[in-house]
Amino acid sequence: MAQLIDGKKISKEIKDELKEKVAAYKAQGKTAALAVIQVGEDPASSVYVNNKKKACEYIGIESLEFHLPEAITENELLVQIDKLNKDDKVNGILVQLPLPKHIDEEKVIQAISPQKDVDGFHPQSVGALTIGQKGFVSCTPAGIIELLKRSGIEIAGKECVVIGRSNIVGKPMALLLLRENGTVTIAHSKTADLRQVTKRADILVVAVGKPKMIDSSYVKEGAVVIDVGIHRNAENKLCGDVDFDDVVEHVSAITPVPGGVGPMTIAMLMHNCVSTMA
């Protein structure tokens, strides 16, 4: 029987630990506030922003919402970020992505002070991760490391394969697995023989963005499979990048969708915010 890696339970554990830490910091007179900027009315973004607000309330930090109109210019948004960079009451700044097409996301990410970059997307944060220095780590991959550790899954010395090389998941995931002493391979859309690569994996992290693409033919018997994907299928049900039903009999541990990686992203965002209170 495969171990079901319970992201709901583990993310709750982390949030409860953070809640205690925040209370202790508050007792020392320290406070924290997360500024969340949303541009436009994308319904999925509104759900994410609302979940972040609820998580802040739960652990006891202030969330400051900046809901800006779709038509805002890039410059107006940059001015808003600059104000928040200079505001001592604000410890973390997050700009909900995606942004409307007329705004350059790269420019916006780079405008956030690296000291307040709780999403870990700023080039300085990514650079720090690459050379093993202190800095904010992108929340979804950081959450996956927590899932593995708290489920008792050893990373050191293991063959780790990450499918996907995006800046927010694939690349930082590979770097974090390397930091934990895994032997890491990144597979991507130009990988010549994907199965041959993924079949080597003791730990397979799938961030391919294609519903149920990874079935048991890609997976080594007894592997640990982490499914980062989130999609809605034809019946409006959530599913991942992994064909869970086909794979589950062949693995030693697996994350479900929903209830696996998803809840960890916000938990790690809260972890990054609380780390600014130290």
Three-class secondary structure of residue 233 per DSSP: coil
Q: How far is the CB of 59 from ligand NAD (least distance, A)?
A: 18
Of 34-42, 104-112, 147-155, 157-165: span binding ligand NAD (CB under 6 A): 157-165
Q: Which of 96, 158, 220, 227 is catalytic?
A: 96
Within a 10 A sphere around the Cβ of 58, how many other Cβ atoms?
Answer: 16
Check the CA dihedral 210-216-220-223 and report its sign.
positive
- Does 168 engage in binding with ligand NAD (CB under 6 A)? yes
Per-residue x/- marks for ligand NAD, 122-151, CB under 6 A?
Answer: ------------------x-----------
Query: Which residue shows structure tokens 């405008």?
Result: 111
In the region spanning residues 171 to 200, those forming contacts with ligand NAD, defined by CB under 6 A, are: 187-189, 191, 194
Binding of ligand NAD at residue 258 (CB under 6 A)?
Answer: no
Chain-centre distance for alpha carbon 196:
27
> In this chain, which of 37, 163, 223, 224 binds ligand NAD, going by CB under 6 A?
163
Least distance to ligand NAD from the beta carbon of 102, Å?
Answer: 21
From 32-40, 79-87, 125-133, 165-173, span contacting ligand NAD (CB under 6 A): 165-173
Among 40, 60, 114, 209, binds ligand NAD (CB under 6 A): 209
Whether residue 143 contacts residue 131, with contact meaning beta carbons closer than 8 Å, is answered with: no
CB 68 within 8 Å of CB 39: yes
Residue 169 near ligand NAD by CB under 6 A:
yes
Where is 52: in which H helix or E strand?
A: helix 43-59
Output the CA angle 63-68-72, nearest 5 degrees.
150
Distance CA 70, CA 33 (A): 24
Catalytic member of 119, 202, 227, 243: 119
CB nearer to ligand NAD: give 213 or 277: 213
* Calpha distance 33→53 (Å, rounded): 11
- Could you say whether residue 261 binds ligand NAD (CB under 6 A)? yes
171 labelled catalytic? no
119 is catalytic: yes
Give the interface segment with ligand NAD, choosing from 123-131, 144-152, 164-172, 216-224 (CB under 6 A).
164-172
Say if residue 69 is preceded by a cis peptide, omega within 30 of 0.
no
42, 256 Cβ separation under 8 angstroms: no
How far is it, in rounded angstroms, from Cα 14 to Cα 7?
10
39 binds ligand NAD (CB under 6 A): no
* Residue found by looking up tokens 């890491």 in the block: 184
Q: Is 161 in the site for ligand NAD (CB under 6 A)?
A: no
- Residue 230 contacts ligand NAD per CB under 6 A: yes
265 binds ligand NAD (CB under 6 A): yes
Is the distance from CB of 95 to CB of 67 less than 8 angstroms? no
Which residues bind to ligand NAD, rule: CB under 6 A?
140, 163-166, 168-170, 187-189, 191, 194, 207-210, 228-230, 241, 261-262, 265
By annotation, the residues acting in catalysis are 52, 96, 119
